[in-house]
Amino acid sequence: MLKKYLLAPGPTPVPPEALAAMSMPMIHHRAPDFIPIFEAARAGLKNLYQTTSDVLMLCSTGTGGMVAAVTNFFNHGDKAIVVNGGKFGERWIKICQSFKLEVIEIKVKWGYTLNPSQLEEVLKNNSGVKGVFVQATETSTGVNHDIEAIAAVVKKHSDALLVVDAISSLVAHDLKTDAWGIDIMVGGSQKGLMLPPGLALISVSERAWKMAETSKIEKFYFNLKTERKKQQDNQTNFTSAVTLIIGLNESLKIIQNEGLDNVFKRHALLAHATREAVKAIGMGLYAKEMPSNAVTAIEAPAGVDGQKIYKILRERYGVTAAGGQDEAKGKIFRIAHLGYSDRFDIITAIAAIEMTLKTLGAPVTLGKGVAACEEILA
């Protein structure tokens, strides 16, 4: 028997309470008994996002939310600054270009974070910028960007909307939507919210809604003005993701009961223990600056293919992690500590990494990383 452990940066494990709730008999999305469920989810999301604005729920993956963040507030030819420090920064570029925005790219070396002064310089040298697009956590590199500092720069030097992909970062990091001035922030169900994939979440500031009035980009399914009107009446415009929204309420209850600050502290602790254990084993961190509390990107030892580590972890030890992408493929593998994760998930992951390295003939002292991990988590 091979027991399986899901430690990838999405999808992540789903708590029993949410699984049980989602197994209940289906109800109709227009029936009266769905209204209080939807209403509770709306309230819980506002608390999580730390905003007084509506947080819209869309039946799609997080990428659908990213598309909606472009099509509902901008026009063909609008100038958009995009921070590109990894695979998902590239995704912002591709989405913006698909809808004919003029992209001004800030290229950030993989493994590094954006220096806000870079953004400040680009804003000073480019007038009429309508939007600044950035990840909170760049999942492909395990790097976090300083959204608070970025938001301050955007506010000081432009009238541009700040659009944040928080799909991996939401729940793992303290993101203060209103206090920092984040105009549009996208989340997804399958990460820190501890649910299956299929639900995109998007908060919109009143400033952004004003820009929505002049957006001429074609839209149908992802029409957020229509969604806003319907969701304020506790309905969605099209068929609701009923099962996921039922599960969302359970996940939000778990987060509320733990306390938002405690949730952030737990993620920070698990991330710290993971990083220190990796270093104790003798491996390096791919994130050279501001490592994320959602996922740790680990450099493979010299002469060892990171894809082999990822494969053996899954096939021999039952631990599903993630490999490297594009230029990092074969160089790294990634372990998440996100959502429904606790100290023993991390200890299991570190033990499996040590045994995998032993299997591959890499120099490793069994138990050294586990000991370092336990010292922090005990």
> Mapped to the 3 state alphabet, what secondary structure does 17-53 carry?
HHHHHHCCCCCCCCCHHHHHHHHHHHHHHHHHHCCCC
Second-level CATH architecture of 16-257: 3-Layer(aba) Sandwich (3.40)
Q: What is the DSSP string of 318-374?
A: -EE-EE--GGGTTTEEEEE--SS--HHHHHHHHHHHHHHHHHTT----TTHHHHHHH
Question: Residue 54: what pLDDT?
Answer: 93
Domain boundaries defined on the chain:
5-11+260-377, 16-257
Strands of 295-299's sheet in order across: 295-299, 332-336, 322-323
Residue carrying structure tokens 């990213």? 66
CA 363 – CA 301 distance, rounded (Å): 9
DSSP class of residue 229 equals H
Is 352:277 a contact under the CB 8 Å cutoff?
no
CATH dotted code for 5-11+260-377: 3.90.1150.10
Distance separating alpha carbons of residues 13 and 6, to the nearest angstrom: 6
Please give the chain's pLDDT, 378 residues, in tens.
899 999 999 999 999 999 999 999 999 999 999 999 999 999 999 999 999 999 999 999 999 999 999 999 999 999 999 999 999 999 999 999 999 999 999 999 999 999 999 999 999 999 999 999 999 999 999 999 999 999 999 999 999 999 999 999 999 999 999 999 999 999 999 999 999 999 999 999 999 999 999 999 999 999 999 999 999 999 999 999 999 999 999 999 999 999 999 999 999 999 999 999 999 999 999 999 999 999 999 999 999 999 999 999 999 999 999 999 999 999 999 999 999 999 999 999 999 999 999 999 999 999 999 999 999 999
Would you say 68 and 55 are in contact if contact means Cβ atoms under 8 Å apart? no
pLDDT of residue 113: 98
Q: What is the pLDDT of residue 1?
A: 87
